[in-house]
Amino acid sequence: MTQDVYDRALGALTGLALGDALGMPTQSMSREAIRTHYGPIRSLRDAVAAQPISPGLPAGTVTDDTEQAVLVARLLIDGEGRIDPKTFAKSLLDWESDMIRRGLADLLGPSTKRALELLEAGVAPEQAGKTGTTNGAAMRITPVAIATPPELDRLLDAVVAASELTHNTNLGIAAAAAVAAAVSAGIDGADLPTALDHAEHAAAAGARRGHWSAGGDIAARIRWARRWVRGMDTDTLADAVCDVIGTSVASQESVVAAFALAEALGDEPVEALTLAAELGGDTDTVAAICGAILGARHGASGLPRDLTTTVVEVNGLELEPVADGLLRLRSRPGTVQRRRRP
């Protein structure tokens, strides 16, 4: 792997963490409440006492988006490209128990929680995630993208393998496939329009995987949103994403919102991520996904060192060995394997 590839892989992880940390103080708040308590978001901020998920956390703290992405990365590396579903389930439950012990409300999302309950009740892993349509798989898919080249069939197999336990639906898999494709293509050196085009193709293919669930088609919504937001000024863009695209945990809102911001502000990563933090709703996830996509495009060297250093130090993150381990998987043929069904 060249230094440029390593820089972009590290950039994907670093951009995810930076976006997550920028969105931490505003997650699950309304746009109006964010204006009242913070005003414009221009940098990392402490969470106010009125923050419903992470009150009082210091500036730069990451949330479930980064922590679960790192969890997936370690499972991939330790499993030499394979994620065992039972180990994955236990790791997620252990993560939530640690959040509870720390007195935080940043717990497992609704799709993941339901899937793990079904798995505990004896439901087969490929059936446990058959109602998972939210953005949990997409928010933690970046390590899979780093570990897997952008070749579509191989990438989709890797996405399904990492997602089906909790988000085995057309919507959940399409959303995760879109993010994975954009990040993986970016790591290979694709320019941003090419990477986002690849994301549309991956979302369309991913929608043919998993259990069907009603909802707006992810690929079609990304395609529409990208065309719609081009040329918008920042204020118009904010209104468009917040009021029309949406920023809820639904994949067809928050994941599409991240792509819209990447399309409109792809040359200005910090502006894209701080705007995401101001929109309300699932701000940490919108910003984290957008950060992963733009981090893969610009590389770690293209992100502001003062902000990324703060995020790394506040959370004790060690992303370099994670990027190294995932890239070693990327260089091996057929690395990420689907779980064999009995």
**Helix 283-298 crosses helix 192-206 at what angle (to 10 degrees)?**
130
Q: Is 188 annotated as a binding residue?
A: no
- Smallest CA-to-CA distance from 109 within 37, 117, 240, 42 is with 117
* CB burial of residue 331 (10 Å; 0-12, 13-18, 19+): exposed
**Helix 64-78 crosses helix 319-330 at what angle (to 10 degrees)?**
50
- Cα–Cα distance measured from residue 303 to residue 12, given in angstroms and rounded to the nearest whole number: 10
- Cα–Cα distance measured from residue 132 to residue 115, given in angstroms and rounded to the nearest whole number: 8
Q: Is 7 annotated as a binding residue?
A: no
Q: Is 274 annotated as a binding residue?
A: no
What residue type is assigned to position 90 of the chain?
K
Q: Is 283 annotated as a binding residue?
A: no
Q: Tokens for 71, please give them.
A: 């969890």
Chain-centre distance for alpha carbon 201: 18
Q: Is 235 annotated as a binding residue?
A: no
φ/ψ region of 61 (left if φ > 0, alpha if ψ in -120 to 50, else beta) reads beta
Q: Tokens for 17, please give them.
A: 């963490």
- Cα–Cα distance measured from residue 301 to residue 298, given in angstroms and rounded to the nearest whole number: 7
Sign of CA dihedral 99, 296, 198, 151: negative
Residues 6+ apart with CB under 8 A from 171: 133, 207, 213, 215, 218, 251, 252
Q: Is 284 annotated as a binding residue?
A: yes
**Residue positions forming the annotated binding site:** 63-65, 282, 284-285
**Residue positions forming the annotated binding site for Mg(2+):** 63-65, 282, 284-285
